[in-house]
Amino acid sequence: MKFIVSSSSLLKQISTISGVIATNPVVPILENFLFEISDGKLTITASDLQTSMITELEIEAKEDGSIAVPARILLETLKNLPEQPVTFSIDQDTYSIELSSDNGRYKLAGENATDFPKVPTVSDGYEIDMPSQVLARAINNSIIATSNDELRPAMTGVYLNIDDSNTTFVATDGHRLIRYRRVDIVSDVNNAIIIPRKALNLLKSTLPTEDTTVNVEFNVSNAFFKFDGIKMICRLIDERFPDYENVIPTDNKNKMIIGRLEFLSSLKRIAIYANKTTHQVRLKITGSELMISAEDLDFSNEANERLSCDHDGEDIEIGFNARFLIEMLTNLESKEISLELSAPNRAGLIFPLEKDSDEDILMLIMPVMLNSYV
């Protein structure tokens, strides 16, 4: 079997999907790309069993066939080749692959394509279209709050709830929660799924910068994303997502409005002096003044800064994990944010004051108990 392909075109396609491949996969053949040739078209698949990505490109080929090609060595070879036609000659009996280019010849050992796991298909699924920029924005805004705790698998992904009024993306790790809602994506049928973090990270890095339509199809076990000649199939997390609505406090009498970048810069400076285990910073709001402070008693480090703010409510003192606050504020784009608080032992809510008319962003952060409240 023989085919000719542009080196840069092939590199672009395999680079797009190579992020799926695990370093030490459960099944050794998953260290390979699956190449399938049919009617002058090359379909390339990469998989880690949980997530699979598929792309295709036009090639010059006289016959159909398939082979599993070692991913790392092929990627490295193509990265270091200038743009030129590359000829692949494959021995179907020994699975050996020879690449011929203007520079020289390269031999590598392939594997039998029939050993490559079959990619699941979505049957009896629900379908919805989303603009790629909206989907990318939803992923960016929610994924930072996913958990790494494999003992709570539901929280290692993003919960997606679609109904006839909006689509809601929710992520939480128990210390913080982000709810991102779009009113411009609706469906006649109510559906809720949990998409794994790895799949969403891959999707985020693959989505094009120019706006295109992403076709999303899913059933009880898999989700299927399709756009610009790329397909991604991922296994859904089959767990019950926490009842997050009950965690969001509604009676927040204290509201502070402050410049996001000013607040963020101050937090980054103060966090340097916080305890390296708790990352605790203390926010003390009195009148129209916010005092941010931190101390690390083990090293006699301490710092404090004063910022002016608009404050409506009683004076309050509350502790937060600076790392979480910084990450959440960095992720927002709004010039000003609103921080809503009810009590030193209740969660705080962050809202951006400027946002798209079709979106709603709520960020919740649990407090860290201050010494004075113990």
Q: What is the 3-state secondary structure (H, E, C) of the chain?
A: CEEEEEHHHHHHHHHHHHHHCCCCCCCHHHHEEEEEEECCEEEEEEECCCEEEEEEEECEECCCEEEEEEHHHHHHHHHCCCCCEEEEEECCCCCEEEEECCCCEEEEECECHHHCCCCCCCCCCEEEEEEHHHHHHHHHHHHHHCCCCCCCHHHHEEEEEECCCCEEEEEECCCEEEEEEECCCCCCCCEEEEEEHHHHHHHHHHCCCCCCEEEEEECCCEEEEEECCEEEEEECCCCCCCCHHHHCCCCCCEEEEEEHHHHHHHHHHHHCCCCCCCCEEEEEEECCEEEEEEEECCCCEEEEEEEECEEECCCEEEEEEHHHHHHHHHHCCCCEEEEEECCCCCCEEEEECCCCCCEEEEEEECCECCHHHC
Chain position carrying tokens 């490295």: 76
- Residue 65: per-residue pLDDT: 93
- Residue 244: per-residue pLDDT: 94
Note whether 301 and 334 are same-domain residues. yes
Distance CA 353, CA 336 (A): 6
Domains: count for the chain: 3
Cα–chain-centroid distance for residue 33? 23
Average pLDDT across each block of 10 residues of the chain; the chain has 374 residues. List them in order.
95 96 92 95 96 95 94 96 95 94 94 94 85 94 94 96 95 96 92 96 92 93 94 96 93 95 97 94 96 92 96 95 96 96 95 93 93 46
Distance CA 156, CA 148 (A): 6
Boundaries of domain holding 142: 126-245
- The token pair at 217 is 């199809």
Note whether 12 and 98 are same-domain residues. yes
Task: Select from 115, 142, 166 the last residue of a domain.
Answer: 115
* Separation in Å, CA 362 to CA 27, 240, 328: 41, 21, 11
Domain containing 227 — which CATH number? 3.10.150.10
Task: Select from 228, 245, 262 the last residue of a domain.
Answer: 245
Note whether 357 and 256 are same-domain residues. yes
Residue 120 maps to a domain: no
Residue 325 maps to a domain: yes
Residue 307 maps to a domain: yes
- Residue 371: per-residue pLDDT: 67
Note whether 141 and 72 are same-domain residues. no
Question: pTM of the predicted model, to two decimals?
Answer: 0.91
Note whether 238 and 286 are same-domain residues. no
Note whether 349 and 285 are same-domain residues. yes
Cβ(4)–Cβ(84) below 8 Å: no
Note whether 272 and 356 are same-domain residues. yes
Note whether 94 and 56 are same-domain residues. yes
- Residue 373: per-residue pLDDT: 35
Residue 32 maps to a domain: yes
Task: Select from 245, 274, 299 the last residue of a domain.
Answer: 245
Distance CA 369, CA 372 (A): 8
Note whether 257 and 345 are same-domain residues. yes
Note whether 147 and 204 are same-domain residues. yes
- The token pair at 334 is 């709004």
- The token pair at 293 is 């402070």
Distance CA 280, CA 167 (A): 34
- Residue 122: per-residue pLDDT: 74
Residue 121 maps to a domain: no
Note whether 275 and 325 are same-domain residues. yes
Note whether 55 and 72 are same-domain residues. yes
Residue 298 maps to a domain: yes
Residue 11 maps to a domain: yes
Residue 60 maps to a domain: yes
